[in-house]
Amino acid sequence: MDENTDSPISEDDWGAAIAEQEKADAAAAAAAASQKSEPPANPAIFKEFSAKGSSTETHNDIDFILDIPVQLTVELGRTKIAIKNLLQLAQGSVVELDGLAGEPMDVLVNGCLIAQGEVVVVNDKFGIRLTDIVTPAERIRKLNK
């Protein structure tokens, strides 16, 4: 049997391979440096936007999002509860929330506060009467926190 096929690669083989790679890298770098650099690409030329019809185009853009469904949530309050107490809950149990009776309820769209309101009953169903709408500036400020 030939020794070279069964024995692992020696350190001399690794050293020779590394030296060969370094020579190839140096040659490639020298070739790149000797070539003339290409002129910079021409800047892109953009067509001017026209001002005509801008208000109708904006209206049409808004139409695209009007049918997108969002999750509207009314939050009465929150609480923290231990798992052992959670497991003891049964039909008729009362869970105390941090919200006070008569306090405005938060109205959230996709988890973002957009308004507050009071609970009302309409045709035997619960509803909410909006009492305060959060301004866009307030929403942005809350997002940055």
How many alpha carbons fall within 13 Å on the CB side of residue 101? 1
The per-residue pLDDT of the chain, averaged, comes to: 78
69-144 under CATH 3.40.50.300, yes or no:
no
Predicted TM-score (pTM) of this structure:
0.48
39 pLDDT exceeds 90?
no
User: Is there a contact between 77 and 98 (Cβ–Cβ < 8 Å)?
Assistant: yes
Q: Residue 1: pLDDT band by 50, 70, 90 thresholds?
A: very low
| Residue of higher predicted confidence among 5 and 31 | 31
Beta strands across the sheet bearing 112-122: 72-75, 105-109, 112-122, 125-133
What is the per-residue pLDDT across 67-100, written as a single tens digit (0 to 9) for each? 899 999 988 888 999 999 999 999 999 988 887 7
Domain ranges of the chain: 69-144
